Amino acid sequence: MCQTRCFHFNLTIIFVSLLGQWFECFLARLLIIPYQEGWIAIKDTVVEDETTGHVQVSLLFIPLLVGGFIRSHYILSLSFFIPSVVIERIIASIFIRTYEKHPRVYVSTSLLLISHLFSIFLSYQTMQWKYSYFQIIVTFILVLTITITIFACLYIYNSSVTRRLELQHRRYGYHFGKRFQAKENLRSLKMVRRITIVGVCGFLVAALFISLVASQLLPNYFHRISLQISEIVLNLNPLFIVPSVADRVPPWKNKLIDTMPKFIRKKYSCTRTVRPMDYRARRTVVEETNTYWTQYSNNW
């Protein structure tokens, strides 16, 4: 992703950070699975002193505690991903003329630092039972609702800027950097919209199966299957997010196909349909840029 440079550096860093956190989820799963599968009984981690009545926690409990903390941090970090991208695009809209010329690393660094500090604090509160999982879900829904509202406003704003510049350049000329940044914002927001749809659908599927188990609507022998499905959806979300996003970004799609095994790649190339492309889609980036600059010089 960093090599293809399809998006601004800050947006790429945030997206790579999201995918990199899957290893955090995988580590949490490895720590929790012995207790979840019953290989280590929870009662074995707590020892009660019969003489004093004090309860001592065994060292066997530490992996479960660490795994729960990491999983809480992972879930909360996902809820801060979309707000981080939206704020980054707001900053791009404010500096719409010069944002693409400068990396502005402090933007992505600050957003990731703040989001991780918040998620670590809330994860600690959860481990102390000051912040229940129900409150985590409510916080996730609240943040998501506010973010989607801001996202919609930002999308409408950049669409209007693009349309206005398209009309203005015919009579007065237009600022090339401003028009390019507005289109970049729209392209980035479309990618985030796709990630949001896939992520929310996965979250709803997992929540549905967990709710069915909690409400006792299914027979007992379906409970384990339902919990396994919810675990798969939550733990393997990159398997759903990456293909859906890469399908809309040709360089990422080509990189993804290249990483597949040879027989799958060959089968994919054989079954793939070739769609006719119009003239604008066939032009290279250099040719399109030269065309823009020629129009810009003529208008000037």
Q: Which of 13, 12, 19 is nearest to 238 (CA)?
A: 19
Q: Give the separation between CA 270 and CA 229, rounded to whole angstroms.
A: 32
pLDDT, average across residues 205-209: 80
Amino acid at 190: K
Find which of 112-116, 145-149, 166-170 is predicted with most confidence, using mean pLDDT.
112-116
Tell whether the model's pLDDT for residue 286 goes beyond 80.
no
Q: Of 238, 287, 268, 267, which Cα lies nearest the Cα of 20?
A: 238
Write down the pLDDT at residue 256.
Answer: 67
Q: Which pLDDT band holds residue 48 (cuts at 50, 70, 90)?
A: low
Distance CA 226, CA 206 (A): 9
| Of the ranges 10-19, 40-49, 116-125, 291-300, the best mean pLDDT one | 116-125
DSSP symbols for 189-255: HHHHHHHHHHHHHHHHHHHHHHHHHHTT-S-HHHHHHHHHHHHHHHHTTHHHHHHHHHTTSHHHHHH
Q: Which residues contact 57 (CB under 8 A, 6 or more apart)?
A: 45, 46, 47
Tens-digit pLDDT profile for residues 82-117? 788 888 888 887 877 777 777 788 888 999 999 899
Most confident range (mean pLDDT) of 29-43, 112-126, 225-239 is 112-126
pLDDT at 279: 46
- What percent of the chain has pLDDT above 70? 67
Calpha distance 109→107 (Å, rounded): 5
Q: Tell me what pLDDT residue 168 has.
A: 58
From its phi and psi, is residue 47 left (phi > 0), alpha (psi between -120 and 50) or beta? beta
Lowest mean pLDDT across 16-20, 246-250, 277-281: 277-281
Contacts of 221 (CB under 8 A, 6+ apart): none
User: Tell me, what's the pLDDT at 104?
Assistant: 83
The pLDDT score that the predictor gives to residue 91 is 85
121 is written with which tokens? Answer: 């604090």
Longest dimension (CA), the chain: 92
Q: Are 178 and 96 in contact (CB under 8 A)?
A: yes
Mean pLDDT computed over 20-41: 83
201 vs 223: CA distance, rounded Å: 21
Helix axes 220-235, 22-36, angle to 10 degrees: 160
pLDDT of 114 reads 92
Strand boundaries in 63-172, DSSP class E: none
pLDDT in tens, 192-202: 778 778 877 87
Q: What is the mean pLDDT of the chain?
A: 73
Instruction: Report the pLDDT averaged over residues 223-249.
Output: 76
Are the CB atoms for 284 and 271 separated by under 8 Å? Answer: no
